[in-house]
Chains A and B, each alone.
Chain A
Amino acid sequence: MPVILVANLNKRFEIRKSKTELLLHPFKRSFKSVLNDINLTIDACGIYSLVGPNGSGKTTLLRILSGILLPDSGEVRIYDDTVSVNPNLIFLISEADKGFYPRLSLKNNLIFFASLILSNRKDIINRVEGIIDEFGLREEVNTRFQELSSGTRQRLSIARAMLFDPKILLFDEITKGIDLSQQQIIYRLIKSLKEKGKTIIFSTHIRDEIERLSDRVILLEKGRLVTFGAYPDIRDDIRQIFNLQ
Chain B
Amino acid sequence: MKKIISRAYNFIRKDFLVESSYGFNITMQTIGILFSTFTFFFLSRIVNLSDTPELSRYKEYFPFVIIGIALSNYLSVATRGFSQRIRESQITGTLESTLISGVSPHGFLIYSTLYDFIFSTFRIFIYLIIANLLSSNGFILSQLHYAVLMLIMSIIAFSSMGVLSAGFVLMFKRGDPIAVIYSALSYLFSGVYFPVSLLPEPLQVLSKILPMTHSLEGIRKSLLIRVSLSDLLPEILALIIFSIVLWPISILLFNIAVRKAKRDGSLSHF
Contact = CB atoms under 8 A, between A and B. Distances in A.
Interface stretch (A114-122, A185-193, A208-216, A220-228): A114-122
Nearest to A86: B102
B103 interface: yes
Interface stretch (A18-26, A46-54, A102-110, A229-237): A102-110
B29 interface: no
A98 B99 contact: no
Interface in A75-110: 85-88, 91-92, 95, 97-104, 108
A127 interface: no
B232 to A, nearest CB: 38
Contacts of B98: 116
Contact of A69 (B10, B92, B97, B262): B262
Contacts of B14: 101, 104, 108, 112
Interface in B73-121: 92-94, 96-103
Contacts of A14: 264
Nearest to A68: B100
Contact of B101 (A70, A108, A116, A119): A116
A10 interface: no
B18 interface: yes
B101 A87 contact: yes
- DSSP class of B's interface residues: helix, strand, loop or mixed? helix
Nearest to B18: A103
Interface residues of A, number: 39
B100 A92 contact: yes
B102 A117 contact: yes
Contact of A111 (B10, B263, B268): B10
B202 interface: no
Contacts, number: 91
B262 A68 contact: yes
Contacts of A104: 14, 17-18, 21
Contacts of A118: 6
Interface string B255-270: 0000100111101100
A116 B93 contact: no
A56 to B, nearest CB: 16
A26 B21 CA distance: 47
B92 A115 contact: no
Contacts of A70: 259, 262-263
Interface in B1-29: 2-3, 5-7, 9-11, 13-14, 17-18, 21-22
A85 B99 contact: yes
A63 B259 CA distance: 15
Given A85-B102, A101-B18, A115-B10, A68 B263 contact: no
Contacts of A60: 265
A240 B90 CA distance: 38
Contacts of B103: 116
A99 B93 contact: yes
Given A115-B6, A116-B102, A99 B17 contact: no
A98 B265 CA distance: 16
Given A104-B17, A108-B14, A119-B2, A98 B101 contact: no
A91 B6 contact: no
B264 A68 contact: no
A202 interface: no
Contacts of A95: 93
A116 B7 contact: yes
A70 B100 CA distance: 13
Given A112-B14, A116-B103, A118-B6, A99 B262 contact: no
A69 B260 CA distance: 10
A72 B264 CA distance: 10
Contacts of A72: 263
B101 A103 contact: no
22 contacts: A14-B264, A60-B265, A69-B262, A69-B263, A69-B265, A72-B263, A85-B99, A97-B93, A98-B93, A98-B268, A99-B92, A99-B93, A101-B92, A101-B94, A112-B10, A112-B11, A113-B101, A116-B7, A116-B10, A116-B103, A119-B2, A121-B6
Given A97-B93, A115-B10, 6 more contacts: A66-B100, A100-B93, A101-B18, A104-B21, A115-B6, A164-B101
Q: Which 7 A-B pairs have the closest CB atoms?
A: A98-B93, A99-B97, A115-B10, A119-B6, A99-B93, A103-B21, A119-B2
